[in-house]
Structure 1
Amino acid sequence: MPESASRRRKKPAYTPPPASSQPALSKPWYAPVCVALLIIGLIWVVVTYISDWSYPIPNIRAWNLAIGFSVMMVGFVMLMRWR
């Protein structure tokens, strides 16, 4: 009889890991804040275009677009983490 067949298995049989629990859900205020940021950013960009680059903050011209798109980007990133 081969040597490997006469030995007993030293390790126990494979047991799968326990089922992982559901990830924690987001707070109830999280989704409304995300949507609010998206809407505020959109309004900021629209006001910038309508006012011919003068408002919402005067004298910064194209930076108004950067601010509006940044606010929307924060909203999108928050939505990706929403559960």
Structure 2
Amino acid sequence: MGGMARSKNSSAVTEQRSGADAPNPVWFKPVMFGFMLLGLAWIIVFYLSQGAFPVPALGSWNILVGFGIAFVGFLMTTRWR
């Protein structure tokens, strides 16, 4: 009986740990890579259009916007399990 009580306690500890280290939802990885690719695409479009797109009013700030979008994706990688 002592072994039985021990296995129940160890499984309770395992359940608590697995709850904290639970895998990410299915949508997490596509959104993470989507942000990184969208930021890259934003910067590429800005350079190829010579500043005419994606938002002409922002001018060179479009580069910062693109890097900001990609940075959100890179920040998400720290939470990826």
TM norm structure 1: 0.72
**Over residues 11-58 of structure 1, what are the superposed CA-to-partner deviations in whole Å (9 max), with x where a residue is unaligned?**
xxxxxxx66623121111000000111111100000011111221001
Question: Which residue identity is paired with 1:74?
Answer: V
Aligned-residue offset at 1:59: 2.1
Match for residue 58 of structure 1?
56
Aligned-partner Cα distance in 2 for 1:60–1:76: 23
Aligned-partner Cα distance in 2 for 1:31–1:81: 10
34, 37, 45: which one aligns with 1:36: 34
Please, what is the CA RMSD of the aligned residues? 1.4
Q: Number of matched residues?
A: 66
Match for residue 78 of structure 1?
76
Aligned-partner Cα distance in 2 for 1:75–1:38: 5
Consecutive unaligned residues of structure 2, counting only runs of 5 or more, are: 1-12
Moved over 6 A (4+): none
Aligned-partner Cα distance in 2 for 1:30–1:54: 32
Larger radius of gyration: 1
Consecutive unaligned residues of structure 1, counting only runs of 5 or more, are: 1-17
**Identical-residue share of aligned pairs (%):** 35
**Over residues 51-74 of structure 1, what are the superposed CA-to-partner deviations in whole Å (9 max), with x where a residue is unaligned?**
112210012111111110000000
13, 18, 21: which one aligns with 2:17: 21
Match for residue 10 of structure 2?
none
Question: Which residue identity is paired with 1:46?
Answer: I
